[in-house]
Amino acid sequence: MLMRFARRTGILIATLIVGSMAVFLLLRVLPGDPAQVALGVNATPEALAQLRHEFGVDRPLPVQYLEWIGGIFRGDFGTSYVTGRVVAAEISKRVSVSVWLVVLGQLAAIVIAIPLGVLAALRQRKASGTVFAGISQIGVAVPSFITGLLLINIFAVRLGLVPSGGWTAPTEDFGLFVEQAILPVLTIGLVQGALLSRYVRSAALDVLREDYIRTARSKGLMPLRAFLRHGSRNAAVPVITVIGLQVATLIVDTIVVERVFVIPGLGSLLFDGVANRDLLLVQGIVLLIVATILVMNYIIDLLYLAIDPRMRRSA
């Protein structure tokens, strides 16, 4: 048990180190000079050299890497080349926006996907089931910015019910937060929900073919009732795995929605950071995402050990 715990931890640390090196190197391989971007088109070579020196990008790569990683161990992600602000503060400000968007958007997706997917599966051979499946297919095909623009056009521009964009923290003004968040959350919910409903449908279909459902049906349960009582837990397993994946990627995928609804989230920060070659900022964000995913998996692995005795023995 202890051995296994130690091995897991070792793997986590090793993966993080390799990940951080990959992040660091990828940005160094990328063409484009941060000093040139900062100083603009007419910069003199001397000014460029001076700024590169200030940024520290004129030093050997191992030195730059060690200084960056060393800073992170002290909780210092460095200072942005472009804004001159502390990277850690900048990121946490944006994360506090994105987390709301991701969590609420994913919840909306679940609320939309599960009924749609289950109904599509139960009515598989009926016209209504085909319609449900068709709806989700359309949802998958329509890109999120189109969905967002359509919602804005209908609910903000024509009906004037909600603002067309913007963001307010719930702690600041909860009413305004709800008004502004409703359309972006719905956009994410519709697009992710359409995708998720495909998985719900196929998971439900798999379960519906099982013997125990047939047994439940033969004792007189209606199809929906049989599925809910006996099938839903089993169908949930693969669906929940997909939800987990969606949440992890959504952190950055919300960028399109952020742009359409003018929300200052993490995705926009990453995008602008790459465009400006704000290396430390981009490294910080990407490392954070990598670390979040790795640490989540690590904790879950440990939970396995705690919960499932068979896995302890297999070590």
Partner 1 sequence: MRITPRITAALAIVVVSAVALTGCASGSAAKSTATTATIGLTAEPANLDFTTTDGAAIPQALLDNVYEGLVTLNNDGEIEPLLATSWEVSSDNKDYTFTLADGVTFSNGDKFTAETVKWNIENVKSDKWTISLKSYMDVVDSVEVVDDTHVTVKLSKPSNDWLFRMTTRIGAMFDPDASTDLANTAVGTGPYTVAEFNSGDSLVLEQRDGYWGTKPALEKVTFKYFSDPNAENSALQSGSIDAISGLSSLDSMSLFSDTSKYTIQDGSTNAEVVLSMNNASGIFKDVRVRQAVNYAIDRQAIITNSTADTGKLIGSMVPPTDPWFDSSLVDAYPYDVDKAKELISEAGVEGATIRFRIPNLANVSAAAQQVQSYLTAVGFKVELDTLEFPAQWLDKVFTGHDYDMSIINHVEARDIATYADPTYYWGYDNAEFQSLVAKADAGTADEQVSYLKDAAALLSKDAVSDWLYLESYVSVVKPSLTGLPANQLGESLNVTDLAWS
**Binding residues for partner 1 restricted to 252-311, rule: CB under 8 A:** 259-265, 268-269, 272, 275-277, 296, 299-300, 303-304, 307-308
Give me the least distance between CB of 203 and partner 1, in Å please: 12
Among 33, 58, 206, 210, binds partner 1 (CB under 8 A): 33
Q: Which is nearer to partner 1, 220 or 309 (CB)?
A: 309
| Interface stretch with partner 1, choices 63-71, 128-136, 155-163, 207-215 (CB under 8 A) | 155-163
296-300 contact pairs (CB < 8 A, 24+): 296/248, 298/8, 298/9, 298/12
Binding string to partner 1 for residues 58 to 97, with x set by CB under 8 A, is what? ------------------------xxxx----x-xxxxxx
Give me the least distance between CB of 160 and partner 1, in Å please: 6
Q: Which is nearer to partner 1, 51 or 133 (CB)?
A: 51
User: DSSP label at 123?
Assistant: T
Beta bridge partners of residue 86, listed in sequence order: 79
End-to-end CA distance of the chain, in Å?
7
Q: Token match 């359509």: residue?
A: 150
Binding string to partner 1 for residues 176 to 205, with x set by CB under 8 A, is what? x---x-------------------------
CB 46 within 8 A of CB 33: no
Query: Where in 223-252 is the site for partner 1 (CB under 8 A)?
Result: 236-238, 240-241, 243-244, 247
In one-letter notation, the amino acid at residue 195 is: L
For partner 1 (CB under 8 A), the number of binding residues is: 79
Residues 6+ apart with CB under 8 A from 267: 98, 251, 252, 253, 254, 255, 256, 258
Give me the least distance between CB of 222 and partner 1, in Å please: 26
Residues 6+ apart with CB under 8 A from 228: none
User: Alpha-carbon torsion 130, 256, 92, 79, what sign?
Assistant: positive
Query: Where in 113-142 is the site for partner 1 (CB under 8 A)?
Result: none
